[in-house]
Amino acid sequence: PRPVGGPVRFRTIASAAGALTLLLAIPASAATPTPGAPGIGDPYYPTYGNGGYDVGHYDLRLTYQPKTDALQGTATVLATTTQDLSRFDLDFALGVDSVLVNNHPAKFTESPAAHKLQITPDAPLAKGSDVTVVVRYHGVPSKVVVDGFTSWQRTPDGAVAANEPESAWWWFPSNDHPLDKATYDISVEVPTGDQVISNGVPTGQSTDIKGWTRYDWRQAKPQATYLATMAIGKFDVTKGTTAGGIPVINAYSTALGDATGAAKASVERTGEVIDWESTYFGPYPFATVGGYVPDTTSDFALETETRPFYSPTMFSSGSDVSVVVHELAHQWFGDSVSLKRWQDIWLNEGFATYAQWLWSQYQGEGTAQQLADYVYASHPAGDAFWKIEPGNPGAANQFADPIYDRGAAAIQTLRDTVGDKAFFTILKAWTAQHAYGNADFAQFQALAEKVSGKKLGPLFTTWLFTPARPATGPVAPGTK
Ligand code: ARG
Ligand code: ZN
C-alpha cells in the first residue's frame, strides 16, 4: 500500500505547445516500508532506544496510588518518522491496554522483560510524517523486573523514578536513549495530601471532590529520557530565585529526620551554585532549577533535568554542597549537551567532577591542580584504577571511579596543556555550540584543538584511552 500521510510531489510538464500543463501525482517514496530497528544503535546498549522515528514531545497523564504502587495513565507521544515505517517499537515494561496511532487502533505486542512494546499501525507510515501515538497503560512498577532489576524506588509515602541509564520504561513508553531528546508535560494525580515533584515548572494543581489532587509539570526544553523524573510523597517545598533571577524549587521529604538540616544546608545553596557555575559554563540553560530529597534508601544522586535527585544518604554524615555542585554542573554537561552514545559518559562525569574541583578551590580548599595531583599520586602504577579507560570503560564500568576522577584529571591535564584562557574558552564554546543537543568525544577533541591550536590526540590517548597509569602526572609537559 502507498504510505499514508506522505508528501506528494507534483511534477509539472509543459506541452510542446506551451499551453497545456499536466499535473502528475507521484508518491514521494517508492521504498517498501520496513520495521524500525529495535535499538537506536548504541554499541554499549544495543537494545536501548529504537529506530525509525524521532520523538518531539511526551505528554504523560498519570494516576498513582502509593498504597498499592498502582500506576496507570495515558502517554501521548508526538514523533516524526525517519523512514517508511511498517511498525516500530517503544521501550516499555508496564501493561498496555490500548494503542492508537494517528487516532486509529494499532496492533501491539508486549515484551516487558525485553522492555519493548512493538506497535503495528493499521497502515504504514511514510518517512517524514508527524505521528501521534497514544498508549493507555497500567502496572505496579516495583514488581516489574527487567534484566534482573527494577529502578523504580518505592518509599514509605510514595515512589521515585530516577536512575541512569534505565528508568523510563518503568513509568512511560519512550525512545529510551539520550540521542532522542524531547519536551515533556508530566501530569500526575495522587491521593490528596500527597505531592508530586517533577522536571521544569509547575503549571497547575487541582483537587477533585473524590480525594485526588493532580499536579502538572512542564519541561519545555529538550530532555533525555533518563533525565525525566517523578517523585510522589510528602514534601516540604521551598521556593526562591537565584541572584541571577532563575526560579528555584526544592523539595525535601518530611520524613528525613535528623538529616533534614544537612540536606537543606546543601540543596538550599542551589541558587548560589548555579550562579557561580554560570560564570564558567555560560548561561544556565533552563527556565527553573532546584533539587529534591525523597525518603529513599538508595545511595546516589542524579542530574534529573532542572531538578536533581539526591538520596538522603548524601547528607547522612553532614552537609555536602559538592554533590550539589556535581549534579548542577550536569545541567550543562549531560542535560543540555547530551551524549550521542553511552561510551562517552566521561563527557558527563569528568566535567561534573571537575566542577567539584573548581568549587573546592573557590572554597579555599584543595585546588583543582592539587586534587588532580592527588588522584595521580594516590593510585600507583598497577592499581586497578588505571585499568579502566574513561573514554571507553565498557557498559559494566560506566559509573566506576576512574570515569569521575581520572576523567577530571584528564581535564586538568588539558587545562595545563592549553592554558587557562583557551581552557575556559573551550568550556563555554562547548556548552554554547551544543546547547540542547548531542555531541560526542571526537567533537570535543576537534573543538579543543581548534581553540588551542594544539594537537591533543596523544594527551587524550594517554588519559582516556590507555589501560595504564600515565607516565607523568596531570601537568603540562616540561612545566613541573
Ligand atoms: N550521573 C549520576 C551521578 O551524577 C550517576 C548515577 C549512577 N548511579 C546509579 N545508581 N544509577 O553521579
Ligand atoms: Zn555525575
User: Alpha-carbon distance 39 to 451, whole Å?
Assistant: 36
**Cell 511534477 sits at which residue?**
11
Number of C-beta neighbours around residue 269 at 10 A: 17
For residue 302 and ligand 1, the question of a CB distance below 6 A is answered with: yes
The number of C-alpha atoms within 13 Å of 170 and in the hemisphere containing its C-beta is 30
Q: Taking the CA atoms of 326, 329, 331 and 332 in sequence, report the sign of the dihedral they define.
A: negative
For residue 399 and ligand 1, the question of a CB distance below 6 A is answered with: yes
pLDDT of residue 8: 40
For residue 400 and ligand 1, the question of a CB distance below 6 A is answered with: no
Q: Whose CA is nearest to atom 4 of ligand 1?
A: 302
3-state secondary structure of 282: coil
What atom of ligand 1 comes closest to residue 399's alpha carbon? 7
User: Alpha-carbon distance 252 to 267, whole Å?
Assistant: 9
For residue 216 and ligand 1, the question of a CB distance below 6 A is answered with: no
User: Alpha-carbon distance 299 to 15, whole Å?
Assistant: 75
Q: 46 alpha carbon to ligand 1 midpoint, in Å? A: 20
Provide the grid cell at 359. 568549587
Q: Which of 45, 152, 160, 164 for a ligand 1 pocket mutation test, highest count of atoms within 8 Å of Cβ?
A: 164
* Dihedral of the alpha carbons of 158, 161, 162, 163, in degrees to the nearest 10: 120
User: Alpha-carbon distance 44 to 401, whole Å?
Assistant: 18
Q: 399 alpha carbon to ligand 2 midpoint, in Å? A: 8
For residue 280 and ligand 1, the question of a CB distance below 6 A is answered with: no
Q: 163 alpha carbon to ligand 2 midpoint, in Å? A: 12
Q: 333 alpha carbon to ligand 2 midpoint, in Å? A: 9
**CB neighbour class for 21 (10 Å; exposed up to 12, middle 13-18, buried from 19):** exposed
User: Alpha-carbon distance 283 to 256, whole Å?
Assistant: 33
Q: Whose CA is nearest to atom 1 of ligand 1?
A: 302
CA gyration radius, the chain: 24
96 DSSP assignment: E
Chain-centroid distance of CA 456 in Å reads 28
What atom of ligand 1 comes closest to residue 327's alpha carbon? 4
Q: 330 alpha carbon to ligand 2 midpoint, in Å? A: 7
For residue 164 and ligand 1, the question of a CB distance below 6 A is answered with: yes
**Inter-residue contact 447 to 456 (CB < 8 Å):** no
For residue 301 and ligand 1, the question of a CB distance below 6 A is answered with: yes
What atom of ligand 1 comes closest to residue 163's alpha carbon? 11
Which residues lie below 8 Å from residue 338, measured CB to CB, with a gap of 6+?
Answer: 178, 179, 181, 224, 437, 438, 439
3-state secondary structure of 67: coil
What H or E segment, with its residue span, contains residue 99? strand 95-101
Which residues lie below 8 Å from residue 284, measured CB to CB, with a gap of 6+?
Answer: 242, 244, 246, 274, 277, 278, 331, 332
What atom of ligand 1 comes closest to residue 398's alpha carbon? 7
For residue 163 and ligand 1, the question of a CB distance below 6 A is answered with: yes
For residue 313 and ligand 1, the question of a CB distance below 6 A is answered with: no
**Cell 522515528 sits at which residue?**
53
Amino acid at 431: T
Q: 342 alpha carbon to ligand 2 midpoint, in Å? A: 13
Number of C-beta neighbours around residue 426 at 10 A: 21
My answer on whether omega of the bond before 477 falls inside 30° of 0, hence cis, is no
Q: Taking the CA atoms of 393, 117, 181 and 358 in sequence, report the sign of the dihedral they define.
A: negative
Residue from 342, 60, 72 nearest 182 by CA: 60
Q: Whose CA is nearest to atom 6 of ligand 1?
A: 302
For residue 465 and ligand 1, the question of a CB distance below 6 A is answered with: no
Q: Which of 298, 300, 307, 332 for a ligand 1 pocket mutation test, highest count of atoms within 8 Å of Cβ?
A: 300
Q: 303 alpha carbon to ligand 1 midpoint, in Å? A: 8
For residue 303 and ligand 1, the question of a CB distance below 6 A is answered with: yes
- One digit per residue, the tens of pLDDT, for the chain of length 480 reads 344 444 444 333 344 444 444 444 545 555 799 999 999 999 999 999 999 999 999 999 999 999 999 999 999 999 999 999 999 999 999 999 999 999 999 999 999 999 999 999 999 999 999 999 999 999 999 999 999 999 999 999 999 999 999 999 999 999 999 999 999 999 999 999 999 999 999 999 999 999 999 999 999 999 999 999 999 999 999 999 999 999 999 999 999 999 999 999 999 999 999 999 999 999 999 999 999 999 999 999 999 999 999 999 999 999 999 999 999 999 999 999 999 999 999 999 999 999 999 999 999 999 999 999 999 999 999 999 999 999 999 999 999 999 999 999 999 999 999 999 999 999 999 999 999 999 999 999 999 999 999 999 999 999 999 999 999 999 755 554
